[in-house]
Structure formats: C-alpha cells, structure tokens
C-alpha cells in the first residue's frame, strides 16, 4: 500500500485564507502589513524564492519591499539599511536573504535586526525565547512541518521523532519545537557524525530529513507506516530536463512511498508551508505593532 501524499500547497492555502481575513481587519485600523527583503547578489535560487514571497504577500493583501544590493556590498551598507528599516513604522518584518557574500559577517547582520521584526526567527533573542518556550516568532520551515503533521491528525505526543540534519534553520529549531510540551515528541538529531544512520531512522514514527543530500534516505531505512517529511531541495543534473537539472529531495521518494504511511513530495510539500509561515509571522508582527 502506498503512502498518503501530504499536499503542502493545499494546507498552506487554508492558512492564507485565514491571513486574508486578518489583513482586512488590520487595514480597517490603518495598518498594511509589510515585509522588507534584503538581497545581495543575483543568486537564481534566492531570486526565485523572493518572487514566491512577493506573490504570496500580494495574494493576501500585504505589501513587500525588495532592496537589492550588488555582490560587492559592504557590511556597513547592509547595517545602515537594516537600521533604517528598524525605525520604519511602515515595515513590520525584515528578512535578509541568505547566504550573504563572503565579505559579510552574517551574524552581525542578523543581530542588527530588531527582534520584533525578525520574522525568520534568526535573531539570538528569538532563538533564546524558543529555547525557553516563550512566545516568539517561530522559524518558517520548522513551524510549517509541525503544522503539517498536526493537519494529518498524527499524534505528536509520545512519538519518536528523528531529524536528519542539525542546521540552525531547520534541524535545531525543529527539535526545540517538537520537544515543547504542546507537542511532546521524543527527539533524536542525526548528523554527519552519526554512526549507523539507518538504525536511528528505522525507529522513527516521524522522520524529518533536512540534510541537503539527495537520495540519502532509502526505502529500507524507513519504519513501516511512518510520517516522512522531506525538506531537501537539491538540484541534480539531468540532461533530459529542460533546465538541465531536476529538483530532488533527500529521500528516495519512489522507494519511501511504498513503506511510509505519509510522505511529503519535493517540490510541493514543505516549501509552500515555509512561505506561508513567514507570511504569518509578518502578520503577527503587524498586529504586535498595534499594542
């Protein structure tokens, strides 16, 4: 029996409908939620991602401001831009598209953002609140993953959740979210130093793979009936494809679908939820600005 395919687009649409209603209420109070996006250079993947964000914001009645810098931008120029946005009452969220050019210290740039406008949840203040279980902006991809699992009705409490990948963007914050009392999962984080990876993944009721390694997890590494969330978005060369490459996940989908109970496709699974959760954070920030 094949796994149920988790449609991230459909779930995200439900949240967008809710967001649109909240935006109308804010506009009645004279507030138009707005996100400022800073990008340095012309990385095609980053530019594509930004286009997706702008479209999602516009579809929910929100605004965006994209500030583009050349690859040669200085740290001082970026800091000056962020300081200006921090004091701009028309901007409720600030997002710096990563990665930044090598001459820029990403940590300094992120720390310069007002935590109340840090809708990516990268600032140390927001990460610290996440660790302590305090109210803060949740990072988009981890939050989206948790909501996808809840949407299926799969019990998080008491489940063995195995995360493959320990990045600051997905793995670490996701482990914190899943282990909070409201979710109550038992979490294992696997990484490049993990021995016998399959021994861990086969124990997982919920398996999240965010390793940036195409085809890392095979079908025989998955517990029967498990929830499999594939976060990987890898460009794999393919001369038969129009663009010369295909997007592949970290999980061998064709094998996993025969073992898992539920699985996210790549693309169309986690990605739409990531953007939706970001939009939700901008909306939260706009509502906070009224208080």
- Between CA 108 and CA 150 the distance in angstroms is 35
Do 19 and 12 form a contact (C-beta atoms < 8 A)? no
Rounded to whole angstroms, the Cα distance separating 285 from 93 reads 7
Answer yes or no: 120 catalytic: yes
Helix, coil or strand: residue 255: helix
DSSP state of 289: T
Nearest-angstrom CA–CA distance, 120 and 140: 7
Tell me the chain's radius of gyration from C-alpha atoms. 19
Dihedral sign for Cα 247, 163, 252, 228, please.
negative
Side-chain-facing half-sphere of 169: CA atoms under 13 Å: 14
Locus of tokens 């949740």: 138
Task: Specify whether 238 is catalytic.
Answer: no
The active-site residue out of 53, 117, 172, 223 is: 53
- Structure tokens that stand for 224 in this block: 């029967």
Per the residue annotation, which of 7, 9, 25, 97 is the catalytic one? 97
Q: Is 223 a catalytic residue?
A: no
Beta strands 245-248 and 234-237 are: antiparallel
Active-site annotation holder among 43, 54, 88, 120: 120
Residues forming the active site: 53, 97, 120
């Amino acid at each position: 029996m094949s796994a149920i395919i988790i449609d991230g687009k459909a779930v995200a649409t439900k949240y967008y409908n809710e967001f649109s209603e909240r935006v109308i209420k804010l506009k009645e109070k004279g507030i138009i939620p707005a996100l400022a996006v800073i990008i340095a250079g012309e990385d095609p993947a980053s530019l594509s991602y930004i286009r997706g964000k702008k479209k999602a914001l516009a579809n929910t009645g929100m605004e965006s401001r994209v500030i583009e810098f050349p690859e040669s931008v200085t740290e001082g120029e970026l800091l000056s831009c962020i300081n200006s946005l921090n004091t701009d009452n028309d901007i409720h969220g600030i997002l710096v598209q990563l990665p930044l050019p090598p001459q820029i210290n990403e940590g300094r740039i992120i720390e310069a953002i007002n935590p109340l406008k840090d809708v990516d949840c990268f600032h140390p203040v927001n990460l610290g609140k996440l660790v302590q279980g305090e109210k803060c902006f949740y990072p988009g991809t981890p939050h989206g993953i948790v909501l996808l699992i809840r949407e299926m009705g799969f019990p998080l409490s008491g489940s063995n959740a195995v995360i493959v990948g320990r990045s600051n963007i997905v793995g670490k914050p996701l482990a914190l979210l899943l282990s909070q009392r409201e979710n109550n999962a038992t979490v294992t984080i696997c990484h490049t130093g993990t021995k016998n990876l399959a021994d861990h993944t086969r124990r997982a009721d919920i398996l999240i793979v965010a390793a940036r390694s195409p085809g890392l997890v095979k079908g025989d590494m998955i517990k029967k009936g498990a929830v499999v969330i594939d976060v990987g978005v890898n460009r794999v060369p393919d001369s038969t494809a129009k663009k010369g490459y295909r997007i592949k996940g970290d999980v061998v989908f064709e094998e996993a679908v025969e073992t898992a109970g539920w699985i996210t496709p790549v693309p169309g699974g986690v990605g739409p939820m990531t953007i939706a959760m970001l939009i939700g954070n901008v909306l939260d920030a706009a509502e906070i600005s009224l208080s």
